Structure 1
Amino acid sequence: MSLNDGWTGRTASALQLALRLTHEAFAEHLGIGVRTVASWHQKPDLRPKTEMQQLLDTALDQAPAAVKARFTALAAEPALDLPDGAAEDAEVRLGADPTVVAALDWLDEHAGWEPGTARRRVAERLVRLDVRALQDRGVRRSRVNQRDTARALTTYYGTPTTGHGRYTATLGNIQATTTVLTHPDWLDLACPLLPAHDRLKLSGVTPDDDLAMDEETAGRTAQRLAEALALGNRMVNLPLFRLLDVDARKGAITGSVGVTSFVGYVVTMDLLEGELVDALTTNTPTTPGALPLRDAYLPNLSAALDVSDRMCAGGTLALTAIARPADPFRGGPDYLLLVQERSGHVINAARRLAVIPKGFHQPLTDYRADAQVGATLRREMEEELFGREDIDHTVGEQRHADPMHPSRMSDPMRWLTAEPGRLRMECTAFGLNLVSGNYEFASLIVIEDEEFWTRYGGQVQANWESARLRQYSSLDTEQLEELANDVAWSNEGLFALLQGLRRLRELGGPRVNLPAIEWELK
């Protein structure tokens, strides 16, 4: 099979997209250099030499029927026209990025569209986007603070009548109200993240995802995907634990999780925060009926609490406290407390303050063992505190049978787990974040042995998910009150901070100087 008018850079690139291959994989498939493939994207009108035309003819002739059909559709589409050289990356990702392709297939299925419709609709939106306008919108979004979202969702959902309420706490002269829906039984858990107490289990059956989308919600999903492509946001489609039921009480977490895909979350529940924040930046009402996506996916408190009947993803986040010896300049022995400023490239809590580590609850390789909350928290420590890039799925594929095997641990983690008493991990609270419906297991990590800081303090570093790390002393009451009063917090981050400080005050002895923290539900 050949093209009547010969191949051009644009049609060669269309074949690459139809095959769903990266630059490197397409070059290897044809037996040519990667630079040649890149040049086809940079110069769409370029006509390859005769021998290259023949290679492309052969590749298309030998391609499966489905690839040929995709190629025909792609070759007929207009080229993307984006500023700053973004077109090449976006166009490749539309056809070759497995996560984007999975998201497009998901959207076609749930919107009831013919295969390929989502790609065309995302491409149409992509060429109309102004990247600089999107960047400006990101700045506006960052100015909507934690208190703004808490007030807006109080207006939207009203007052709970089930014994649940939005988490509010008082620290000294500071009162903080969050969007985290919780219950008295779900607070002050002091639950060791060990198998005898951490008993979240993998369910044998996950309910079918039968979510149907109307044209408005499907269109907003297509817009979100186009914006993610234009901005170069990182997305990787991985298995994600979906909460099916939970019982959190003093000293124990029980319940079950199923397994779903990350793209299903990204194109549904994860859209709710952006919709809400954009409404706040434009003074749009945030009442029922004014937020179409929220009205569809999380319309009331009953829907928020009914985790078995909706997409309820989420994760773990922990206040980390590291014992430090006395210092002639800093003062007496204390705990170093770590807080992160989140990067603008993350999916969750972008540009907000959060405790660290923070991550989605999802399996690595052993789905049953990884269902425990502590499994995710240990992985996130390795990734976000100790620099383990090999377990960061956004950096590369996971090929190890046991990524958390002791022989693969970082030196700091291996030292912490070598002897009992060096590391304490507890779940302090559970809640459902009304911003996106996510479940949140707030936790506390305490490194009890101050020798750790002497040995490894210089190796503690955040990964790409953090724009910056801040450190605080557990003895500095005034600074911690100011921290709790900072409006830049994510709601779940503030929830974890306050519950973590409350528990640390009980455990820390003379290393901690904090006023009482009292919570109430509103």
Structure 2
Amino acid sequence: MAVDPWTGRTASALQKALRLSNELFAEQLGIGVRTVASWHQKPDLKPKSEMQQLLDTAYERASATVRARFAELLGQTPVVPPDAEADDEARAAAELRLSADPHIGAALEWLDSHAGWEPGTSRRKVAAKVANVDVRGLRDRGARRGQISQAQVTRALLDYYGRGENGYGTYSAKFGDQDAATTVLTRGEWLDLAAPLLARSDGLTLDPAPFEAPAALDDRALDAAVQRLAETLELGTRLVNMPLYRLRTTGVVNSAVSGTVGIAPFVHYALTMDLLEGELLDALTNGGAGRLPLREYYLPHLEAVTQLDGRLCAGGVLALCAIARPPGLHGDADYLILVQQRSGNVVNANRQLAVIPKGFHQPAADVRADTRLGGTLLREMEEELFGRDDVDNTLGDQRAADPMHPSRLSEPMRWLLERPLGERLRMECTGFGLNLVSGNYEFPSLIVIEDEEFWLRFGGQIEANWEASNLRRYSTLDTDLLSDLLADVAWSNEGLFAVLQGFRRLADLGGHRVNLPAVEWELT
């Protein structure tokens, strides 16, 4: 099969068929990692002639199994080699990546340690699993999972955990004649914070004490972790072992965020708590929640959810983004609201609606200074809205001493930060909660770009990155469409939490620019 010409889409398909990370694919071709990343971000891009030749060579050198996978990814009928050859090549390809990818290597090392296995045991177990992974079956499973709504997940978890006690409850809200419930466990004093970020009220601090994880996982947890790594290899999912902040203690008082965070490796989260959502979705696709052995092991009851320092509690910061626009073809002066549908290649909120920006709370370079929520939000804006791929640690190692130094900022971000925070750019935390889906902490926030000159200067440069499959826009004067948006069944739980809390705060700030649905929250 010849590809003429190669595009970003077909080049990315070849990379996926080869089961190579961005770094390893770039190394094989002899090009830069950013070039490979650009193919994912711009599928219609046609590489230059010399790049076309490199891709031709890579395809011609590929095995029959790889070519069959490549054809299948492009929706064509693959020529499948004999089963024995396919199994041998699958094992060889798995061993190659397991040995060459440092992030997968870190996951294997972590797994050996927490299983009490001899070094190398997890590599052999994962390689054996790879040979038996049914890629089509995984895609079918992904489609089935995508049919489970946020409301179904919420009902299942409310049935599993029951009602909150001692001031805790799950967040729900009413707007117009409709209502919405979420899986976010919260308290009344954790809501409507209006806490300015990158200020004294942005007060998480670092506790460097090591996390004492369980010495050994049980057999169910180990088997699920091995299966997760095998599926990661087969599907080409990005697994980058960067440090995450894990919440140890929290206190939200007087409209301020406080508490302590420690550090945990991303592979710990990916191979443990992140497995809970998939287990639940699979159970629901089979007609009901039934038994959930991983949930029984990691988060068996609400007490386990709220005892933060006894478990891994990773999480993130996500923000409703509102950009002031002057009167124009769209109508009167308003704010533009941006909403993303998440890509199928992300770990969190896969294929669901979410606000943008959204990201894990993690350090970029300085583990102590980067604990502030506002710093994470600024980085996520650079990555997800302003096109900075050198901040995104999923595309390569972080080598810059300060990736958010003023000299490295994008033009839109530099313009926003030329004035003190609050003049052109307002950032506030609107609440806090613990998501029952995976036990994650969630800090919903609001970003408001107040100066309408920003839209005139930079509106055409705003573009979602690879983490989103599409970007939606809404006017804050269009009440009917906004009500429909809140009622959309495709929301992630944390996304719905953030947009509802964001609407409440923006209604107070927006003046004549807004005509938002009135949102009233309650705890269940």
User: TM-score under structure 2 normalisation?
Assistant: 0.84
Map residues 74-473 of structure 1 onto 2, 5 A cutoff.
81=86, 90-286=94-290, 290-327=291-328, 329-420=329-420, 421-473=423-475
Q: Which moved more, 1:90-99 or 1:506-515?
A: 90-99
| Residue in structure 2 matched with residue 17 of structure 1 by the alignment | none
Identity of aligned pairs, percent?
58
Q: Using the alignment, how far apart are the partners of 2:389 and 2:348 within structure 1?
A: 19
Q: Which moved more, 1:304-313 or 1:276-285?
A: 276-285
SS of 1:462 mapped into structure 2:
coil
Q: Which moved more, 1:196-205 or 1:482-491?
A: 196-205
Q: Using the alignment, how far apart are the partners of 2:344 and 2:313 within structure 1?
A: 23
Deviation at 1:111, TM superposition (A): 1.3
1:302–1:258 Cα change, 3 Å:
same
Deviation at 1:90, TM superposition (A): 4.0
Q: Which amino acid counterpart does residue 475 of structure 2 have in structure 1? A: S
CA offsets 1:54-98 (integer angstroms, 9 cap, x no match): xxxxxxxxxxxxxxxxxxxxxxxx998369x97776443221111
Alignment check: 8 A CA contact 1:168 1:520 kept: yes
| Residue in structure 2 matched with residue 51 of structure 1 by the alignment | none
Q: Which amino acid counterpart does residue 319 of structure 1 have in structure 2? A: L
1:34–1:277 Cα change, 3 Å:
closer
1:459–1:488 Cα change, 3 Å:
same
Q: Which amino acid counterpart does residue 388 of structure 2 have in structure 1? A: R
Deviation at 1:285, TM superposition (A): 3.2
CA offsets 1:121-148 (integer angstroms, 9 cap, x no match): 1111111111011111111111101000
Q: Which moved more, 1:105-114 or 1:480-489?
A: 105-114
Q: Which amino acid counterpart does residue 351 of structure 1 have in structure 2? A: R
Unaligned runs of 5+ in 2: 1-22, 31-53, 66-82
Q: Using the alignment, how far apart are the partners of 1:35 and 1:264 within structure 2?
A: 38
Alignment check: 8 A CA contact 2:280 2:289 kept: no
Q: Using the alignment, how far apart are the partners of 1:292 and 1:260 within structure 2?
A: 24
Q: Which moved more, 1:121-130 or 1:85-94?
A: 85-94
Q: Using the alignment, how far apart are the partners of 2:143 and 2:173 within structure 1?
A: 29
Q: Which amino acid counterpart does residue 280 of structure 1 have in structure 2? A: L
Alignment check: 8 A CA contact 1:129 1:227 kept: yes
SS of 1:212 mapped into structure 2:
coil
Deviation at 1:398, TM superposition (A): 1.4
Deviation at 1:163, TM superposition (A): 0.8
Deviation at 1:461, TM superposition (A): 0.7
Alignment check: 8 A CA contact 2:320 2:357 kept: yes
SS of 1:495 mapped into structure 2:
helix
1:24–1:463 Cα change, 3 Å:
closer
1:505–1:416 Cα change, 3 Å:
same
| Residue in structure 1 matched with residue 49 of structure 2 by the alignment | none
Deviation at 1:506, TM superposition (A): 0.3
CA offsets 1:388-430 (integer angstroms, 9 cap, x no match): 0001112122111110000000000000010130000000000
Alignment check: 8 A CA contact 2:90 2:131 kept: no
SS of 1:418 mapped into structure 2:
coil
1:143–1:371 Cα change, 3 Å:
same
1:520–1:152 Cα change, 3 Å:
same
1:89–1:509 Cα change, 3 Å:
farther
Q: Which amino acid counterpart does residue 492 of structure 1 have in structure 2? A: E
Q: Using the alignment, how far apart are the partners of 1:445 and 1:86 within structure 2?
A: 46
Q: Which amino acid counterpart does residue 241 of structure 1 have in structure 2? A: Y
Q: Which one has the largest radius of gyration?
A: 1
Q: Which amino acid counterpart does residue 248 of structure 1 have in structure 2? A: V
C-alpha RMSD of the superposition? 2.5
1:388–1:454 Cα change, 3 Å:
same
Q: Using the alignment, how far apart are the partners of 2:473 and 2:378 within structure 1?
A: 21
1:106–1:89 Cα change, 3 Å:
same
1:26–1:476 Cα change, 3 Å:
closer
1:80–1:179 Cα change, 3 Å:
farther
Q: Using the alignment, how far apart are the partners of 1:510 and 1:23 within structure 2?
A: 52
SS of 1:134 mapped into structure 2:
helix
| Residue in structure 1 matched with residue 11 of structure 2 by the alignment | none
Deviation at 1:204, TM superposition (A): 2.8
CA offsets 1:317-362 (integer angstroms, 9 cap, x no match): 00000000111x3210000000000000000000000000000000
Residues paired across the two proteins, number: 461
Deviation at 1:207, TM superposition (A): 2.7
Deviation at 1:250, TM superposition (A): 3.9
CA offsets 1:465-495 (integer angstroms, 9 cap, x no match): 0000000110011111100100100000000
Alignment check: 8 A CA contact 2:205 2:371 kept: yes
Deviation at 1:40, TM superposition (A): 8.3
SS of 1:176 mapped into structure 2:
strand
Q: Using the alignment, how far apart are the partners of 1:519 and 1:25 within structure 2?
A: 52
Q: Which amino acid counterpart does residue 459 of structure 1 have in structure 2? A: Q
1:37–1:137 Cα change, 3 Å:
closer
Deviation at 1:217, TM superposition (A): 1.4
Q: Which amino acid counterpart does residue 425 of structure 1 have in structure 2? A: M
CA offsets 1:256-309 (integer angstroms, 9 cap, x no match): 1001100000000000000000000011434xxx10100000111001001111
| Residue in structure 1 matched with residue 16 of structure 2 by the alignment | none
Q: Using the alignment, how far apart are the partners of 2:426 and 2:90 within structure 1?
A: 46
Q: Using the alignment, how far apart are the partners of 1:177 and 1:103 within structure 2?
A: 35
Deviation at 1:24, TM superposition (A): 7.5
Q: Using the alignment, how far apart are the partners of 1:452 and 1:119 within structure 2?
A: 51
1:168–1:34 Cα change, 3 Å:
closer
